[in-house]
Chain A
Amino acid sequence: MGNPSTPPDLRSDASSGSLVGSARGDALFKWLLIAAACTIPALLLALLYELSSGAWPALSKFGLEFIVSGTWDPVAGIFGAWPAIFGTLLTSLLALAMAVPLSLGVAIYLTEFAPVAIRRPVATVIELLAAIPSVVYGLWGIFVLIPFLTTSIFPWLEANLGFLPIFRGPIYGPSVLAASLILTVMIVPFIMSVSREVLLAVPSGQREAALALGATRWEAVSTAIVPYAKSGIIGAVILGLGRALGETMAVTMLIGNRHEVAASLFAPGYSMAAVIANEFADAAGGPIHESALIYMALLLFAVTVVVNAAARLLIWRVSKGRGGR
């Protein structure tokens, strides 16, 4: 309000007839903004209502059993979402485990170590990855990634780490591991570009102070810069997780679409979004099948909300402790 650059005489000028018009304009503008702001919560509520009412038949029939049961039998009309929930969480977390170190490494390199001339171009190229449609990632996964995995990586893992149950069993190609890898590629640009922005925003005083105290580059990064940017980096990771949880097309094409919780990462699995994408168009098991799929959508919605709420909480606690961004 107290804008120092506004000359006082202009303010008094506005007390004439033109003020009425601008006040009306202001009011209109305000209500437009309020309407715009209400749209999103209203949409969210409408979505929640639609999902709940659509899911009601399955919800009342299977209850919470739906979440823990592993049977998906459209012929018998028995549905359980656990393999899909498990697959969604497993692929997303595996993708995070691979994407976070990679993207943080790139972000730190690009802000602290890389020659200035290449910083911007490299960042732009990585950000371009975010613009690729997921069906293209899926095709790339089928035609490039999977042949590569089945001929080199998977046999190597089986030969050298086959004593672990997660690297055993027949190699189909499409698998939990393949889906996790494609998710990794897909979320790296998000995590990288947001954490890069956050690192760039760290005041140079922070960096210089650490270096002045005799810290090495690595020590400056690990003790002064990354802790300062922590809440922002967590935000970036959560953004990536959100994308991984909801990603549908590429996962459907690579996960193998099998309602089963298998010990091996080579085995096919399922994700919640993939089940809905596959079966909704022709929910052949009748109304209860369709309702079970909407119930699945409701659960996916719930998982995303819980994850985002947890992220907010985490960021809030971290920033409260640090007083940083």
Chain B
Amino acid sequence: MFKMSRATRVARRLTTVLATVAVGGALACGGDGGTVALTGAGATFPYPVYSKWFDAFYTATGNQVNYQSLGSGAGVKQFTEGTVDFGATDGPMTDEEIAAVPGGVHHIPTVIGADVVTWNLPSLGKTQLRFDAASLADIFLGKIRKWNDPRLVALNPGVALPDKDLLVVHRSDGSGTTYIWTDYLSTVSPEWATKVGRGKSVNWPTGLGGKGNEGVTQQVKQVEGTIGYVELIYALANDLPYAAIKNKSGNFVSPTLESVSAAAAGVDLAADTDFRVSIVDAAGADAYPVASFTWLLIHPDFADADKAAAIKAFLTWATGPDAAAMASELHYAPLPAPVLELVKARLATLKGAGELLP
């Protein structure tokens, strides 16, 4: 693995060099009218919508974007090392990580993702189960070990929960999905916050690990009595059952594009926000509680003015209605209007080679 990472790093550097050459060539031939090739790396969760966006952006402007979905950690690392023009992450960078980036970093939210709780209890058929924060924390802390635990029965009146072992399945690889899930549990359960905490991989008190959303899904599908968390998009695509979760206002909310967007609408952002906000357990009657922004990481002042302009052009387009429609089609919840306004205001401050971009 180690050797491989070296090799890929070299390959990536090479890509950057090639990209630079391409830009140089474009500039030589066409000046302002030329196209640039951007490189980006990071989160896997938004990759489907990003690749669609990048494709549409290329068709519209001729600017190529080469995005590698290597995982949020790799995205942060490569952005910090300067081997890519922009990064992408599902978990915000820490203050320490930001301090390591020369010139700082802007987190630009693009879409909203959500984790859903899925399970395997064939005796229940298509019944949707209901959970609240306390019961989910206790399940993942290993304190609720049977499906017919009184706490679960009380939450699901009229559902014949079986006397079966409750088996927890979680992600074994570091992932933004896990970050969202543990961020939620840490927010709602002080015990989880002190014992486990939030992170892309954590020290799980119970359960077993599956690699990727597909690994968790496979495990849940195969063994009766399992419970796990996967991304909403993944659950929809694979027709998995998903639970309604009790939100801050006391309503049981099913994860939908609307309820996930509502989670972002419920958060109060200041005009100078850095967008590194958690929207789990959000206020709002219809807000789904396990949701999160996913971010692009960009330089506030990029030394390469043409690339800076291209990134700005892309993000401006990505905050428009066409991009939002594409995202909804793929079941990514678009940003609510107030957040979009803030993003647009932030884009207006972007600089290229020290000059404010037009």
Contact = CB atoms under 8 A, between A and B. Distances in A.
Interface of A: 47, 50-51, 54, 71-76, 142, 146-147, 150, 170-174, 252-253, 256-259, 268, 276-285, 289, 293-294, 297
Given A170-B165, A172-B223, 4 more contacts: A253-B211, A278-B172, A282-B175, A283-B174
In order of increasing CB-CB distance, the 3 nearest A-B pairs are: A284-B200, A257-B209, A282-B174
Nearest to B174: A282
A278 B202 contact: no
Given A173-B219, A297-B1, A75 B167 contact: no
A103 to B, nearest CB: 30
A70 B3 CA distance: 27
Contact of A285 (B5, B201, B204): B201
Given A76-B197, A284-B200, A297 B2 contact: yes
A317 B218 CA distance: 48
B123 interface: no
Interface string B178-202: 0100000000000000001111111
B284 interface: no
Interface stretch (B19-27, B67-75, B253-261, B290-298): B67-75
Nearest to A249: B211
Given A173-B219, A173-B222, A258-B209, A73 B203 contact: yes
Contacts of B196: 75
B229 to A, nearest CB: 15
Contacts of A259: 203
B210 A75 contact: no
Interface of B: 1-3, 5-6, 70-74, 91, 165, 167, 172-175, 179, 196-204, 207-211, 215, 218-219, 222-223, 226
A146 B215 CA distance: 14
Nearest to B72: A282
A169 B201 CA distance: 26
A256 B167 CA distance: 12
Contacts of B223: 150, 171-173
Contact of A75 (B3, B5, B203, B222): B203
A279 B174 contact: yes
Given A73-B203, A284-B199, A284-B201, A277 B210 contact: no
A277 B2 CA distance: 10
Given A170-B165, A281-B74, A50 B174 contact: no
A172 B225 CA distance: 9
B203 A47 contact: no
Nearest to A138: B211
Contacts of A257: 172, 208-211
A71 B203 contact: yes
Contacts of A281: 70-71, 73-74, 173-174
Nearest to B91: A284
A289 B174 CA distance: 11
B74 to A, nearest CB: 7
Contacts of A75: 196-199, 202-203
Contacts of A173: 219, 222-223
B88 to A, nearest CB: 13
A73 B202 contact: yes
Contacts of B199: 74-75, 284-285
Contacts of B175: 282
B73 A283 contact: yes
Given A75-B198, A76-B203, A279 B173 contact: yes
Contacts of A172: 167, 208, 219, 223, 226
Contacts of A50: 2-3, 6
Contact of A280 (B1, B197, B204, B208): B1
B201 A174 contact: no
Contacts of B173: 278-279, 281-282
B313 to A, nearest CB: 30
A258 B204 CA distance: 8
B2 A294 contact: yes
A147 B223 CA distance: 8
